[in-house]
């Protein structure tokens, strides 16, 4: 999903370019040389300006909840102010004498919500290129995030809750209207069986106050940048209040699919790095496989929620069928073995 498809560039590139340059002016930044980082429901653009490098996140009308976005940016601000962790920092724009972390940018009939972040220099590695040291350091980062970056949210703080209901229920951020309509009866049964399989263990874990807090919730390799060998997490858009152990699952899920030969060694490195910072019972490690399976199910629900994307719509039925077969095998064996592509 890095970059923008050619047809998107041809059809919308000029409009987005103009909106991005207008957004820079809202922050009193000079015009910049723009390069596209992602286009998937929103535009993510790097701007190289005379004042430095920045990342713009541009949301089309109606594509983001303002309270949820404000809450995400508040947590990121807390992380940067109160910890030594590197994470995206949203810059404040002054509008009518008040500082705002995001602004409305009107361009013709379009009104886009814009956020400007400091650009973090570093290298993003594919899952295939991650070393044991990289994964250990990522475990340390998550341990610090879960230990040092927790705060008491204000009353208007709005982020999804990723407990059992948040992972598997109808109110889940992964849910979409009529999501199971395109599934076979067997696939719907697999969804239900996985959810029921998780109910007991996750309910018991949720009873422990120390097991839950603010988490990134989408820490795949593409969302980790390495700077002087130290990792930083990017793209906190899916952050929420959930199980700390679930935060280890996205990367482990990806490594199962792309590093099958040494995924156990990589899991060990992530776990050791995590436990070097945050005290967690060794016995809880056995829950990792369940959270990896939960991530597999979430990936299917994400595909179902994005069927309006033509390229995804073409591959989603086959990919969901493969992932459901893998989940069925997990229910039989307790181990999720992946051969389906990650995307």
Radius of gyration of the chain (CA): 20
pLDDT per residue as tens digits for the range 119-165: 999 999 999 999 999 999 999 999 999 999 999 999 999 999 999 99
Looking at the structure, do residues 168 and 289 belong to the same domain, yes or no?
Answer: yes
Does pLDDT of 259 surpass 90?
yes
**% the chain with pLDDT above 70:** 97
pLDDT of residue 11: 53
Whether 63 is covered by a domain: the verdict is: yes
User: What region does 154 belong to: left with phi over 0, alpha with psi -120 to 50, or beta?
Assistant: beta
Whether 100 is covered by a domain: the verdict is: yes
Whether 341 is covered by a domain: the verdict is: no
Query: Secondary structure of the chain: what % helix, strand, coil (to 5)?
Result: 50, 20, 30
Whether 343 is covered by a domain: the verdict is: no
Looking at the structure, do residues 211 and 293 belong to the same domain, yes or no?
Answer: yes
Q: Which DSSP state fits 123?
A: B
Using the 3D structure, point to which of 118, 144, 173 is the last residue of a domain. 118
Whether 103 is covered by a domain: the verdict is: yes
Q: Of 63, 83, 99, nearest to 91 (Cα)?
A: 99
Our count of domains for the chain comes to 2
Q: Which two tokens stand for residue 180?
A: 């199971």
pLDDT per residue as tens digits for the range 311-336: 899 999 999 999 999 999 999 999 99
Domain that holds residue 89: 6-118
Mean pLDDT of 284-305: 97
Mean pLDDT of 202-211: 95
236/78 Cα distance (integer angstroms)? 13
pLDDT per residue as tens digits for the range 36-57: 988 777 899 999 999 999 999 9
Mean pLDDT of 76-101: 95
Whether 215 is covered by a domain: the verdict is: yes
Looking at the structure, do residues 60 and 154 belong to the same domain, yes or no?
Answer: no
Looking at the structure, do residues 176 and 273 belong to the same domain, yes or no?
Answer: yes
pLDDT of residue 12: 67
Average pLDDT in the chain = 93
Mean pLDDT of 187-199: 98
Looking at the structure, do residues 329 and 201 belong to the same domain, yes or no?
Answer: yes
Looking at the structure, do residues 138 and 16 belong to the same domain, yes or no?
Answer: no
Looking at the structure, do residues 134 and 181 belong to the same domain, yes or no?
Answer: yes
Q: Which DSSP state fits 127?
A: G
Looking at the structure, do residues 18 and 131 belong to the same domain, yes or no?
Answer: no
Using the 3D structure, point to which of 69, 94, 118 is the last residue of a domain. 118
Looking at the structure, do residues 174 and 198 belong to the same domain, yes or no?
Answer: yes
Helices (H), 116-224: 132-148, 164-168, 185-206
Does pLDDT of 3 surpass 80?
no
pLDDT of residue 38: 83
Using the 3D structure, point to which of 73, 90, 118 is the last residue of a domain. 118
∠ at Cα 134 (272, 340), nearest 5°? 90
pLDDT of residue 8: 46
Helices (H), the chain: 6-26, 66-82, 132-148, 164-168, 185-206, 249-258, 263-275, 288-305, 310-333
CATH of the domain at 33: 3.30.200.20
Determine contact, residues 9/44, Cβ cutoff 8 Å: no
Whether 17 is covered by a domain: the verdict is: yes
Looking at the structure, do residues 248 and 200 belong to the same domain, yes or no?
Answer: yes
85/216 Cα distance (integer angstroms)? 13
pLDDT of residue 23: 94
Per-residue confidence at 1, pLDDT binned at 50, 70, 90?
very low
Looking at the structure, do residues 145 and 195 belong to the same domain, yes or no?
Answer: yes
285/273 Cα distance (integer angstroms)? 13
CATH of the domain at 243: 3.90.1200.10
Q: Which two tokens stand for residue 210?
A: 């120390």
Whether 266 is covered by a domain: the verdict is: yes
Looking at the structure, do residues 299 and 161 belong to the same domain, yes or no?
Answer: yes
């Amino acid at each position: 999903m890095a970059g923008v498809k050619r047809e998107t560039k041809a059809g919308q590139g000029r409009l987005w370019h103009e909106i991005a340059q207008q957004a820079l002016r809202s922050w009193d930044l000079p015009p910049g040389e723009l390069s596209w980082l992602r286009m998937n429901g929103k535009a993510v653009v790097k701007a190289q300006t005379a004042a430095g490098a920045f990342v713009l996140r541009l949301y089309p009308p109606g594509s983001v909840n303002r309270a949820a976005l404000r809450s995400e940016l508040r947590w990121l601000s807390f992380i940067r102010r109160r910890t030594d962790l590197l994470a995206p920092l949203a810059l404040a724009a002054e509008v009518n004498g008040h500082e705002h972390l995001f602004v409305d940018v009107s361009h013709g009939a379009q009104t886009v919500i814009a956020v400007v972040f400091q650009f973090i220099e570093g290298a993003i590695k594919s899952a295939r290129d991650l070393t044991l040291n990289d994964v250990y350091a990522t475990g340390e980062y998550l341990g610090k995030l879960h230990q040092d970056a927790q705060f008491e949210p204000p009353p208007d703080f709005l982020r999804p809750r990723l407990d059992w209901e948040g992972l598997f229920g109808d109110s889940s951020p992964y849910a979409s209207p009529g999501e199971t309509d395109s599934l076979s009866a067997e696939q719907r049964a697999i969804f239900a069986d996985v959810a029921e399989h998780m109910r007991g263990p996750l309910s018991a874990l949720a009873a422990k106050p120390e097991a839950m807090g603010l988490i990134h919730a989408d820490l795949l390799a593409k969302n980790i940048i390495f700077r002087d060998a130290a990792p930083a997490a990017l793209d906190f858009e899916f952050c929420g209040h959930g199980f700390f152990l679930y935060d280890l699952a996205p990367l482990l899920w990806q490594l199962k699919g792309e590093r099958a030969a040494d995924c156990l060694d990589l899991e060990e490195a992530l776990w050791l790095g995590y436990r070097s910072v945050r005290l967690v019972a060794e016995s809880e490690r056995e829950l990792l496989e369940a959270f990896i399976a939960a991530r597999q199910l979430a990936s299917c629900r994400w595909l179902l929620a994005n069927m309006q994307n033509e390229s995804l719509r073409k591959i989603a039925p086959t990919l969901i069928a493969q992932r459901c077969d893998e989940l069925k095998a997990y229910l039989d064996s307790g181990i999720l073995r992946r051969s389906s592509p990650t995307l």
